[in-house]
Structure 1
Amino acid sequence: MYDQHDKTLRFFRVFNMIIIVLLCLTIILPFLNILALSFNDGADAQRGGIYFLPREFSLENYIEVFQQSTIINAFGITLFRTVLGTIFSVFLTAMAAYALKTKTLPGRKVITFFIFFTMLFSGGVVPYYLVLNELQLTNTIWVYIIPSLYSVWNILIMRTFFQQIPESLEEAARIDGCSEFQIFIRIILPMSKPVIATIGLFNAVAHWNDWFSGSFYVRNSELKPLATLLQEMLTSQQALSEALLQNSGAYAALDKITVTGDSLKMATIILVVAPILMVYPFIQKYFVKGVNIGSVKE
């Protein structure tokens, strides 16, 4: 009986391992293909047959990206909104979550309901734009930061985590004369590194990859973030390549093109993804703990 149970257990372990490996390959192999195409000559890439290694190594795709005069400014805008937006969003979200988990907060259930209610409906893009315009946030750098300071989902996640912290620690701190803010800073935040890392990563990725806000809410080219600028560059490059193909003939055009719309797209993807990939290993241990928030109740 035990031998049969052990065999079944080993079978499921092997089966699960195979499934996990296959899932990993579905992520890794396309990324390697994108990386190879980004370092390959654009005209050669048009002929196909490139999988995981570049056939004709070239840096022209990345040179084309960085030749744009506004690229450094776009990096600065993106870095500014990502760092400042993430810090303020995580801190203010944590404060809101701490207040909502406090049982002595007057009207706590009513406040929680109204906050949760905002998750159920959306006013739409046009009303949202009118609100931003009325608040004089459009065409300013603050349109990237202020509207995204709070997320109801993140507040609920943090509140769930804070509820798992023993209340006896807070009571002991109050007896020692600590204020609520001191308890929040000295006890709650240091014990909440997993959820802070998780929410921080979500916010950072959202800020770094957001191109929509720069396209619709900002007209000043000097305030365009990296994702928006690269998206516009990609659109213009694709239009140029298509025009060249129509005017000069397909084969003649391919001989002249070293950077195509597709090759520039691959370089753009790598350029946007690379910073997040470099940051993730440093917060992985906290992130793994954070994704299990609420899964175990004592």
Structure 2
Amino acid sequence: MSNSMVGPKALRFLNILLIVLFCLAIILPFLHVLAISFNSGVDAQKGGIGFWPREWSFENYTEVFKQDNLLNGLFISIFRTVVGTVIGVALMSMAAYAMTIKTLPGRKQITFFVFFTMLFSGGTVPYYLVLTELNLTNTIWVFIIPSLYSVTNILLLRTSFNQLPFSVIEAARIDGCSEFKIFRSIVIPMSKPVLATISLFTAVGHWNDWYYGSFFVRDASLKPLATLLQEMLTRQAALSDILLRNSGSMAYSQLDKITVTSESLQMATIIVVMIPMVLIYPFIQKYFVKGITVGSIKE
């Protein structure tokens, strides 16, 4: 075998090895979490749980699905994720495209103003006061309207739009197309990969967010799934802590009846929350491997 063939084969083997190690680094922690979620909580506290449950139990998931308003919280989470993602990505992409137009009046000032908001924050109390003045607190729109814009996503979209073939856009302008038609008919079809990425980031952010439901919503019927599960974990941890701190025999007898621990409940919660995102990801994955200028000419 010639030396010229050894090099490529060794490089290919190294690439495969790195990919396998990377996959294991992702899969093994997931299997560990899954094993604990299906294991008895009391038995899991002994340690030694690897990637397979030692003492099978479905009580962790039973406890999760016993929570009040769980279906309503699921509906709230789906609503805010779908509506917030669709409107948010549409507005952020339009803002990013506007910032790529060199003839836009005050373009540099607008870009600086958008970037400036990444450096400073007003704080939680002023933010709460602003939401109160806008009558957004304790409404479902508090989950959507304040999260419509992300400066990081806008800058990513602007950078991607700047890499599009300028000749295609310029030709459309010469033909008399308006900027909105160019954005809708040319920019959007050529930017599916970055739009899919931003959509995934935005959807995951909405789905996993529990903070807004805890601090800006008092009505239990408006709390999303992540907030309900977070409150459940807090109650479970507080109950276990109280029983452990109490040295009375009654407390220990009650503690012996508890088969679900805060750790096992947390693992079951992680699985429940992540399943929808895992199911959605395969439908978006194909856009990550496509070129950003598919179907266009090259400069």
TM-score (norm 1): 0.88
Asked if 1:189 is matched to 2:188, the reply is yes
| Secondary structure of the structure 2 residue equivalent to 1:138 | coil
Contact 2:243 2:252 in 1 (8 A): no
Gaps of 5+ in 2: 293-297
Match of residue 241 from structure 1: 240
Q: How does 1:73-92 map to 2 (within 5 A)?
A: 73-92=72-91
Match of residue 99 from structure 2: 100
CA–CA distance in structure 2, aligned partners of residues 280 and 259 of structure 1:
31
Q: How does 1:187-266 map to 2 (within 5 A)?
A: 187-245=186-244, 246-248=247-249, 255-266=256-267
Asked if 1:137 is matched to 2:128, the reply is no
- AA aligned to 2:39 is N
- AA aligned to 1:42 is G
| Secondary structure of the structure 2 residue equivalent to 1:259 | coil
Q: What is the CA-CA distance between 1:287 and the residue it aligns to?
A: 3.0
Q: What is the CA-CA distance between 1:23 and the residue it aligns to?
A: 3.5
Q: What is the CA-CA distance between 1:263 and the residue it aligns to?
A: 1.2
CA–CA distance in structure 2, aligned partners of residues 70 and 247 of structure 1:
34
CA–CA distance in structure 1, aligned partners of residues 137 and 59 of structure 2:
35
CA–CA distance in structure 1, aligned partners of residues 28 and 165 of structure 2:
45
Return 240-249 or 264-273, whichever deviates more. Answer: 240-249
Q: What is the CA-CA distance between 1:112 and the residue it aligns to?
A: 1.0
| Secondary structure of the structure 2 residue equivalent to 1:101 | coil
1:24-73: CA deviation from partner (whole Å, max 9, x where unpaired):
32322121111011112222222322211112222211111111221111
CA–CA distance in structure 2, aligned partners of residues 6 and 253 of structure 1:
69
Q: What is the CA-CA distance between 1:179 and the residue it aligns to?
A: 2.2
Give me the CA root mean square deviation.
Answer: 2.6
- Structure 1 residues 241 and 290, CA gap change in structure 2 (3 angstroms): farther
- State the number of aligned residues: 293
CA–CA distance in structure 2, aligned partners of residues 186 and 47 of structure 1:
60
- Structure 1 residues 190 and 213, CA gap change in structure 2 (3 angstroms): same
1:115-174: CA deviation from partner (whole Å, max 9, x where unpaired):
111112222222222222222212211111111111111111111111222233233333
1:90-120: CA deviation from partner (whole Å, max 9, x where unpaired):
0001100111101121121121111111112
Q: How does 1:1-298 map to 2 (within 5 A)?
A: 11=10, 13-245=12-244, 246-248=247-249, 255-288=256-289
- AA aligned to 2:33 is I
Contact 1:195 1:290 in 2 (8 A): no
Q: What is the CA-CA distance between 1:177 and the residue it aligns to?
A: 3.9
CA–CA distance in structure 2, aligned partners of residues 51 and 257 of structure 1:
23
Q: What is the CA-CA distance between 1:241 and the residue it aligns to?
A: 2.7
Sequence identity, in percent?
66
| Secondary structure of the structure 2 residue equivalent to 1:50 | coil
